Structure 1
Amino acid sequence: MKASRWARAAALLVLVGFTASCGLPRVGPNKREIYSGSVQREGDAFIVSVNDRVTRATAVVPALGFSAAFRNAGIVGSDTIRPGDTLGLTIYENVDDGLLAGQGLNATMLEEVQVDGAGFIFVPYAGRIRAAGNTPEAIRRLITERLADQTPDPQVMVRRVAGDGATVTVTGAVTQQGVFAIERPTRTLSAMLARAGGVAVEPETARVKVIRNGHTGEVWFEELFEDPQADIALRGGDRVLVEADTRSFTALGATGNQTRVRFETQTISAIEAIAQVGGLSPTTGDPTGVFIFRNEPEEIAKQVLGRTDLIGAQRLVYVLDLTEPNGLFLARDFVIRDGDTVYVTEAPFAQWSKALSAVSGTLGLASSLASIADNLNNN
């Protein structure tokens, strides 16, 4: 009788093992299958266990910043008028029937008076006035002098408005896109972005690009306030583009959520990436099998593998074991990069649990069918 029970138990174990090796549903490859694809086993990927040296060699973040040409450009005097600038003029006359004002009015507004290519503007009764190279105040005095002989005590106001001269185009993820004149309060990049209403995305992941004469520079928005040199002086014709960071990684396997995840900060560690998708599944996740799949550039791959014979980008699979004494520290220090795939394998017992459930369900169904058959035979 005892031998019979042992035989049935052994048969059950064999059945469970067979069932576990068959097509039970699972989240992806197990550790054994991943390791079988290593270069050491004639695969095409290098399997690397993460340690302190590996975390240092792979801690690469996007290199953003302005070149010396951008940083060394001094602040332009915002009061200096240039060809292409557009001016707004208001002329007050001290008589009811003046030269320029309509009947019953004593003020005339001339909007969008553009400075021509030669640097002049034309004002009725004052003629051609040299504007380029002068300040609005100097232009005001010139116009006043020309009109003083024709109308008593003229009062003139000159202001610069957006036009084709010293202006900057601001587009992208800002509150107010548009073309803005470089004025005294808006001569630097941060001030111009404030003039455009500020960024319309999370400041921590906002990237600011400046295009000038065919050259491009880019910085993180927050860097404008952390590094004074990053807050560059603007030039007429600059184009400013604000974009949200588009970097992302993919989380798969036995995690709380399997999805493509956008970066929420400028840098993100492996432990933060796992936390962003709900952590390891408490019922199936294997803390000894956290893998990061990445195409590593040649120079970094050489440092990680300690080899000099590699050519081109290499497929690397980094392995984290969170159960090791320093496993969580390594996961905290390992930097996730754009395009990475973070994959968590299932714990071995998870497949056995599935197999047991499948076998139990099968045996229960067989028992139910046998009972039905016995009832039919008895009737």
Structure 2
Amino acid sequence: MRGITLLRAAMVVMAVATTGCSLPRGAAMQSEITGAARNAETADFAVQPVTRAALPALLSWPSTDNTPRYSWMGRTGGSSTPLLAAGDVISLVIWDSAQSGLLAGPGALVTPMSDLRVSGAGEIFIPYVGNLRVSGMSPDHARETIQTALDGYIPGVQVQLAAQPGRGNTVDMVSGVAGPGAYPLVDRNTTVLSLIAQAGGVPAALNNPRVKIFRGSKIYGTSLESLYESPDRDALVLGGDRVIVTPDERTFLALGATGSEAMIEFPKDTVTVADALSLIGGISDSRADPRGLLILRSYPASALRSGGPTRAQVVFTVDLTSADGLFAASKFPIMPDDLVYATESPVANIQTVFGLVGRAFGLSSTLGL
């Protein structure tokens, strides 16, 4: 009877082995995916190993990152002194030591003049003097100019000046910060990071924040990460700028025998294969083939060339069992919309077979066979 049981178990093993393609699995094996590319003439995709030797050439291949690219300004030195601009509101206090009474009336020494808005032409109106251009001047320079102009009518006159920034000296912090709103520029030395700090900073939940500055008809853009890493990129903001902070919307997809099958956001400007592995929780210890990590990528027809991708679809293979593969993985970048696929190890199929055989023995014992 025991011999019959063993024979039946052997038959189970043979049946399972001959129908391995029907075994329950969570991912394909590497050979099943890349096998069609063995005939390079008929294959509609290419297979490219990622190694240290191939890395220089691979890094020269066209990028498939279609995220809009914007230029950025370098850091330039600013001044702690503001400049008057159209829309600023000026208040004057005019002191007449001679008591001429020309502005304040007989016997009066002080004449306050408030709410003098700088016109679009950059001028303010002062009685007897007329329109006086002050735009582009510092408050001290404007005060001296007004005082000199009035001195011809009021000998020995003294002028005090205070200014409130208008639209021309205000930056709009539109979104992506704790306190969006209009922020007056108190000087010409306000940088992007100092403005963001005034606005309460960027919420921690915002993924890899991107900074855009709308200045007239131009758009400048960069990542917040790059401003932190390179202080010389922390550019000055100008009156009339609109600043927007948005999340990085780039993603890649992780499937197969990975720690997490999901759409993964880019947490920083550049994500390598090694970074991607950490983001997805690595590959499955019991299921994945560490020699068969695949990155599936599509290239536009315009990118196909000699010395670059020769097919619109390319499967990059990474061997995580060798130092060469691991070093290459730490340098090879993931692109938006890539598919990172961890293939299943053939050993997993063998384990499945033995598991089925074990169940068969258990069932035979239960039935007394």
TM range (shorter): 0.7 to 0.9
> What are the superposed Cα offsets for residues 17-76 of structure 1, whole Å, 9 maximum, x if unpaired?
245322x43223222220234273644221111112432334478796636xx4598858
Q: How does 1:58-73 map to 2 (within 5 A)?
A: 58-59=58-59, 66=71, 70-71=73-74
Native 8 Å contact 2:258 2:280 kept in 1: yes
Counterpart in 2 of 1:156? 160
Q: TM-score, normalised by structure 1?
A: 0.74
RMSD over equivalenced CA pairs, Å: 4.3
Q: Tell me, in whole angstroms, the C-alpha distance in 2 between the residues paired with 1:196 and 1:30.
A: 52
Native 8 Å contact 1:202 1:244 kept in 2: no
Percent of aligned positions that are identical? 29
Tell me the secondary structure at the aligned position of residue 268 of structure 1.
coil
Q: TM-score, normalised by structure 2?
A: 0.75
Which amino acid in structure 2 is aligned with residue 85 of structure 1?
Answer: G
Which amino acid in structure 2 is aligned with residue 348 of structure 1?
Answer: P
Tell me the secondary structure at the aligned position of residue 28 of structure 1.
coil
In structure 2, the CA distance between the partners of 1:307 and 1:282, relative to structure 1 (3 Å rule), is: closer
Q: Tell me, in whole angstroms, the C-alpha distance in 2 between the residues paired with 1:80 and 1:178.
A: 21
Q: Tell me, in whole angstroms, the C-alpha distance in 2 between the residues paired with 1:325 and 1:11.
A: 42
- CA shift, 1:206, in A, is 2.9
> What are the superposed Cα offsets for residues 209-252 of structure 1, whole Å, 9 maximum, x if unpaired?
22223222222334335546533343333222222322222211
The structure that is helix-richer by fraction is 1
Native 8 Å contact 2:9 2:357 kept in 1: no
- CA shift, 1:142, in A, is 5.9
In structure 2, the CA distance between the partners of 1:222 and 1:35, relative to structure 1 (3 Å rule), is: closer
In structure 2, the CA distance between the partners of 1:74 and 1:275, relative to structure 1 (3 Å rule), is: closer
Counterpart in 2 of 1:377? none
Native 8 Å contact 1:203 1:222 kept in 2: no
In structure 2, the CA distance between the partners of 1:107 and 1:175, relative to structure 1 (3 Å rule), is: farther
Q: Tell me, in whole angstroms, the C-alpha distance in 1 between the residues paired with 2:359 and 2:111.
A: 94
Q: Tell me, in whole angstroms, the C-alpha distance in 1 between the residues paired with 2:323 and 2:132.
A: 79
Q: Tell me, in whole angstroms, the C-alpha distance in 2 between the residues paired with 1:264 and 1:133.
A: 42
Structure 2 residue 223 is matched with structure 1 residue 220: yes
In structure 2, the CA distance between the partners of 1:122 and 1:307, relative to structure 1 (3 Å rule), is: closer
- CA shift, 1:165, in A, is 1.5
Among 204, 208, 219, the residue aligned to 2:211:
208
Q: Tell me, in whole angstroms, the C-alpha distance in 2 between the residues paired with 1:235 and 1:285.
A: 54
- CA shift, 1:110, in A, is 4.2
**Relative contact order: is structure 1 or structure 2 higher (C-alpha 8 Å, sep ≥ 6)?**
2
Counterpart in 2 of 1:317? 315
- CA shift, 1:78, in A, is 5.3
Q: Tell me, in whole angstroms, the C-alpha distance in 1 between the residues paired with 2:263 and 2:112.
A: 60
Among 160, 173, 177, the residue aligned to 1:174:
177
Q: Tell me, in whole angstroms, the C-alpha distance in 2 between the residues paired with 1:13 and 1:188.
A: 71
Q: Which runs of 5+ in 2 are unaligned?
A: 97-102, 105-109
Q: Tell me, in whole angstroms, the C-alpha distance in 2 between the residues paired with 1:359 and 1:2.
A: 15
- CA shift, 1:253, in A, is 1.1
Native 8 Å contact 2:249 2:265 kept in 1: yes
Native 8 Å contact 1:188 1:232 kept in 2: yes
Structure 2 residue 295 is matched with structure 1 residue 292: yes
- CA shift, 1:317, in A, is 0.5
In structure 2, the CA distance between the partners of 1:325 and 1:164, relative to structure 1 (3 Å rule), is: closer
> What are the superposed Cα offsets for residues 71-109 of structure 1, whole Å, 9 maximum, x if unpaired?
598858953322x33225375989xxxx99xxxxx9979
Counterpart in 1 of 2:123? 120
Among 236, 240, 249, the residue aligned to 1:237:
240
